[in-house]
Amino acid sequence: MRIKRISAAVALAAAGALVISGCAPSGGDEGADDSGLVEGSSITAAWNQAFYSMNGNTSFGNATANNNINYLVLDGFNYYDNTPQLVKNESFGSYELVSEDPLTVKYTVNEDKKWSDGTPIDAADLLLYWAAESRALDTPDFDPAEFTDPDTGEFTDAFPTDVVYFDSGATPTSGLGLVTEQPEIGDDGRSVTITYDEPFVDWELTFATMGEMLPAHIVGKKALGIDDNEEAKKAVLDAIENNDAADLAPISSFWNGGFNFTEMPDDPDLVVASGPYMISDYVADQFVTLTANPEYTGDNSANIEEITIRFIPDPLAAVQALENGEVDIIQPQATADITTALEGIDGITVDTSLGGTYEHVDLQFDQGKNPENIFSNPKVREAFMKVIPRQEIVDTLIKPIIGDAAILRNSQLFVPGAEGYDEAEAGNTSADYAEVDVEGAKALLAESGVTDTSVCILYASNNPRRVNEFALIQASAAQAGFNVTDCGSEEWGGLLGTPGAYDASLFGWQSTSLGVTNSLPTFETGGINNLNFYSNAEVDGIISQLNTEFDEQNKIDLQVEMDRLLWEDFYGVTIFQFPEVTAISDRVTNVESSILAPTVFWNAWDWEVTDAGSKE
């Protein structure tokens, strides 16, 4: 075994958009074609959670487990490498800043781009992306909360059929929510030009990055009952251009849920792809297989014909699978047992670092499971934060892995070591929750007047570290009089944000970009990542300022102030930055993990199978 210790300095400077983080036999080489693809080649990677949606832009589907795969099957205008640096994907298309005032950007898809079923990628796909991600055509004032199933997190069958509602979480103060004017189509139907209502600092990260854009013709076929691909695409285009609510209602409904599946769908249209790979097989709770897309013509063409991603929630089971030669790449949730187990395996390389994911507990400000909606009361929120054993969690579960690098994270917005972190930590009240204060919690709970102290916590029940964290929180909170109950679930990701499903949640947010604004939907009223119904007008005002602020110091100052407000609102607690361990078989080369999602998968098209280290 070779060990590479990766510096955490770059990881600690990362901040940006967030996704929910949880975490088959190999074939030989038969010969490469002109593109570099080796026919018959295959490898297997492991992940800790099963895939369940090809639309990672909904409140239901926004999870790392989905976006790892979507990144490889849906092409787009840019992506981050592992520097991390934003890379323009010019073999897919181009974008140019037409004007700064008003902010105007033109996006053009290259002429030869096709979906895997041979249908050209064009302005219909771009315009559908705008309609969904701006919500400019949504039925005004519609609230979907009462139509969400508390057992699954998906919309129920009672969801109205006559409303236009794209579940992208777009708000009118940021991103494409600021593009209320319909885009202009050009270049023989291959481009759209979008104009922002006001400047937006992270405009380069808002439109059809890799892993996001869905096929308009498939949406049209399924939503409107049209068989012909071109006719279906035209129908979607017409519905958007004419703001036809009668057609937009089923279009938005299918966009929201039509690409959700937990096994290989019978309908091949649902896995139509534009990226270097396409989903070719999926066995429920076991694995997804990706096969090189024959219609892909971009620079990121695959070297390995088939990549299978096995779902192995238990980290030690993932290590065992690596040792047995059943998988070639693992990135399990790191524990002391994991690092010890990996030390005994020959023929692998192990990379360790601090990653861009952080652990935290969020409290439901509204629509919790407790009949008294317990955390709508600020005294109860403060009391519960006082009994979350943050330091014990770090000392018990994280320090054995990375030693002194295991520290409390004391900011909702800044990563330890990043510019602004020290100032934020000094200015917020995180120090009040560094140690457990049972007596203080008891006093607050008594003052609150609540009679039902039950708190049901949602977490990944098949994740050993989360199970241990839950147990520590449960025992500590009981000392103050809280009755912490178990809402753990293997389907925890889809349940996040579901009204009535739980009272607090324990999970990780993983950074997907370096944009200052893209983490803000976690805290903005109605934002896609605002899963706990938090709302503060002053915070919303700061977010609006950050959206249009280009001065670096002003951005930091605004975030420091916002961070202070979040702690004073008793939003919840941050706990630690994830230790990250990636183990790679010697039979695979060019595997280099990134601190940003999709971490180890960011350059899967570059992976190669070698003869060295092959298992017999």
Question: Which token pair is 207?
Answer: 């439109």
Mean pLDDT in residue range 155-159: 91
Rg of the chain over all Cα atoms, to the nearest angstrom: 24
- Whether residue 76 is predicted with pLDDT greater than 90 in this model: the reply is yes
Q: How confident is the model at residue 33 (pLDDT cuts 50, 70, 90)?
A: low
**Strand boundaries in 23-67, DSSP class E:** 38-47
Amino acid at 498: T
pTM: 0.88
Per-residue pLDDT reduced to its tens digit, 431-467: 999 999 999 999 999 999 999 999 999 999 999 999 9
- Whether residue 611 is predicted with pLDDT greater than 90 in this model: the reply is no
- Nearest CA to 292 out of 538, 33, 79 is that of 33
Per-residue pLDDT reduced to its tens digit, 266-294: 999 999 999 999 999 999 999 999 999 99
Q: How confident is the model at residue 16 (pLDDT cuts 50, 70, 90)?
A: low
Is the omega angle on the peptide bond into residue 102 within 30 degrees of 0, that is, cis? yes
Predicted pLDDT at 152: 86
Instruction: Output the CA–CA distances (angstroms, integers) from residue 240 to 130, 197, 251, 256, 313, in the order listed.
Output: 10, 19, 10, 16, 42
- Whether residue 155 is predicted with pLDDT greater than 60 in this model: the reply is yes
Q: How confident is the model at residue 22 (pLDDT cuts 50, 70, 90)?
A: low
Predicted pLDDT at 30: 42
- Whether residue 416 is predicted with pLDDT greater than 50 in this model: the reply is yes
Q: Report the chain's terminal Cα–Cα distance, integer Å.
A: 18
Q: How confident is the model at residue 23 (pLDDT cuts 50, 70, 90)?
A: very low
Predicted pLDDT at 519: 82
Q: How confident is the model at residue 36 (pLDDT cuts 50, 70, 90)?
A: confident
Predicted pLDDT at 28: 36
Q: How confident is the model at residue 616 (pLDDT cuts 50, 70, 90)?
A: very low
Q: Alpha-carbon distance 366 to 362, whole Å?
A: 12
Q: Alpha-carbon distance 55 to 256, whole Å?
A: 8
Q: Alpha-carbon distance 318 to 446, whole Å?
A: 46
Q: How confident is the model at residue 224 (pLDDT cuts 50, 70, 90)?
A: very high
Say which residue the tokens 């002053």 belong to.
538
Q: How confident is the model at residue 353 (pLDDT cuts 50, 70, 90)?
A: confident
- Sequence length of the chain is 616
Q: Alpha-carbon distance 260 to 154, whole Å?
A: 9
Per-residue pLDDT reduced to its tens digit, 392-408: 999 999 999 888 889 99
What residues form DSSP beta bridges with 21?
A: 508
Cβ neighbours of residue 344 under 8 Å, at least 6 residues apart?
A: 1
- Nearest CA to 268 out of 257, 256, 281 is that of 281
Predicted pLDDT at 150: 87
Secondary structure element (H or E) that encloses residue 558, with its range:
helix 552-568
According to DSSP, residue 29 is labeled -
What residues form DSSP beta bridges with 191?
A: 108, 186
Q: Alpha-carbon distance 299 to 459, whole Å?
A: 39
- Mean pLDDT taken over the chain: 92
Q: Alpha-carbon distance 284 to 155, whole Å?
A: 21
- Nearest CA to 335 out of 292, 277, 398, 254 is that of 398
Predicted pLDDT at 8: 39
Q: Alpha-carbon distance 79 to 602, whole Å?
A: 8
Amino acid at 485: T
Predicted pLDDT at 34: 54
Per-residue pLDDT reduced to its tens digit, 549-571: 999 999 999 999 999 999 999 99
- Whether residue 3 is predicted with pLDDT greater than 60 in this model: the reply is no
Mean pLDDT in residue range 288-316: 97
Predicted pLDDT at 615: 40
Predicted pLDDT at 418: 86
Mean pLDDT in residue range 193-215: 96
Report the range of poorest mean pLDDT among 28-42, 73-87, 133-147, 397-411.
28-42
| Phi and psi at residue 351, to the nearest 5° | -105, 130
Predicted pLDDT at 145: 84
429 or 516, greater pLDDT: 429
Report the range of poorest mean pLDDT among 309-323, 506-520, 577-591.
506-520
Mean pLDDT in residue range 512-521: 85
3-class secondary structure, 426: helix
Predicted pLDDT at 511: 84
Predicted pLDDT at 602: 96
Report the range of poorest mean pLDDT among 24-38, 347-361, 602-616.
24-38
What residues form DSSP beta bridges with 440?
A: none
